[in-house]
Copies of this chain bind each other. A is one copy, B any other.
C-alpha cells in the first residue's frame, strides 16, 4: 500500500522568499517517500483546495526547484480567503474534506500569516468533528512580522533589507543636493497595525544624524507638534531629514491619517506618506519628495537576505519533518538562541496559540520619544538582514521562474465557494 499524499497551500500576501519555504516542503517531502506519497499544491491556496484545482509538485525537476527558490511571489498562487465557521457553512467543509479524500490527502501544510493560521486551526478542528484523519501543520510567512510566538517571520528580513538599503541610498542622494530651504524625503512603507517594516528602516542609520532620522509607527499616536519640532531641529542641524511613514500611522483619535476625509485636518491624498508630505510642505515650506514602495518592498528578491531565505527554507523543511514525526495542529516558529553570534533553530507552537493574534512592536523596541527604534530593536533586527541571497541574472535582469503546471484532472463535480469572504486586511 502506497503512502498517503500531502497538500501544500500558499496563503495571504506574498514575500520575496515564500517559494523558499515551498522548496523546503517539496525537497524534504521527497526524502520521506514511505510517509508522504505525492506532494500536491493548491492553486491560490484554500480557494484551489475548495475548487479542486491542484498541481502535482512531483513533476518539478531539481533545476526547476533552484529556479523556484529564487523567485518572489507565490509560485502556486495565493489568495485572501477566509473559510466560514463550520457551523455556519458545513457544506464548505464537506466539500473540503471530499477534495482531500478524493486525492488521498492525509497532511496539509498551510504557508501563511495570522489569518492563514486561523484557517489551519479551523480545518484541524473540523477534521476532528468530521472524523477525517488529517495532520495540519502551519508554516509562517509575512513581511509584516506580526505573527506571535515566533522570533521573526520569514519574508520580513528580506523586506527590511530592501527598505533599509533604499532609505540609505535615497538619503545619500538627497544629502548631496544643495538647498537653502531644507529638504525632506518621505518614504511610505507597509504596516496597517504593526510598525515592524517601518522600524526595520531604522537599520539604515548608524549615527544620530544618519537617515532615517524619524520613523512614524502605527503603535505611536502621531503628534503633529512633537513631530514638527523634531523635523525642524533635524533640518536646521543636518539640512535635510528622511522620514519613514508606516501606512497605518494614526492620530491621537486612533484614526489612520490616510483615511481622514477632506473635512478633517488633512486632505486625503491616497496614503499616509502623501498626507505627511503635504503637511510638511504646508507647515514648513521644505522641499519634499515622497516614495511609496508598495509591492516593491515585499517582492524585492534581488536584495533578499540570505538569513531570511535560509529560515524560509527551514520552516518548510521542518514542517515536513514535524508531520512525518506525527505533529498535528502546530505551526513552525523561528526560535532565537542568541543574537551575537546569531543562532536560531525551528521549533513548534500550537496553532491555537497563534491563530488570528497580531504581534505589535513592543515598547522596548521603540525609542523613548516614539519616533525611532531603540538600540534593543537594532540588536534584534540586524541578524535578520545578514547575507545576500542573490538570484541568477540574465541580460542584466534577475531571471525568475514560476511553474506553469497543468492542473490535475478533477475527480469531483465543479464547486465555487460563494460569496467570497474577504479578510479585514486590505493591504494585499
Contacts and interface: CB of A to CB of B under 8 A. Distances in A.
A329 interface: no
Interface in A361-418: 382, 384-388, 390, 393, 395-398, 400, 402
Nearest to A162: B302
Interface in A28-72: 44-45, 47, 71-72
Contacts of A335: none
In this complex, the member of A73, A78, A180, A382 whose beta carbon has the largest number of chain B beta carbons within 10 angstroms is A73
A290 B298 CA distance: 14
Given A78-B176, A79-B177, A168 B395 contact: no
Contacts of A269: 269-270, 274
Chain A, interface SS category: mixed
Contacts of A176: 10, 14, 73-78, 402
A270 B274 CA distance: 8
A173 B386 contact: no
A173 B397 contact: no
Contacts of A75: 176
Interface in A292-348: 292-296, 298-303, 305, 307
B428 A172 contact: no
Contact of A172 (B172, B177, B400): B400
Q: Return the 6 tightest CB-CB contacts between A and B, nearest first.
A: A385-B396, A170-B295, A291-B294, A74-B176, A73-B172, A44-B178
B386 A14 contact: no
A215 to B, nearest CB: 16
A141 interface: no
Given A71-B172, A274-B270, A385-B395, A185 B295 contact: yes
A169 interface: yes
Contacts of A303: 302-303
A175 interface: yes
Interface string A259-283: 0000000000110001001100000
A298 B173 contact: yes
Interface residues of A, number: 73
Contacts of A270: 269-270, 274, 277-278, 290
A397 B75 CA distance: 27
A289 interface: yes
A247 to B, nearest CB: 12
A277 B270 CA distance: 10
Contact of A204 (B164, B384, B397): B397
A327 B91 CA distance: 83
A388 B391 CA distance: 12
Contacts of A173: 14, 72-73, 295, 298-299
Contact of A295 (B174, B307, B382, B402): B174
A92 interface: no
A178 B386 contact: no
Given A203-B397, A289-B295, A300 B169 contact: yes
A292 B295 contact: no
Contacts of A178: 44-45, 47, 77-81
Contacts of A250: none
In this complex, the member of A45, A75, A174 whose beta carbon has the largest number of chain B beta carbons within 10 angstroms is A174
B165 A302 contact: yes
B296 A172 contact: no
A357 B359 CA distance: 55
A166 interface: yes
In this complex, the member of A298, A385, A397 whose beta carbon has the largest number of chain B beta carbons within 10 angstroms is A397
A420 interface: yes
A57 to B, nearest CB: 16
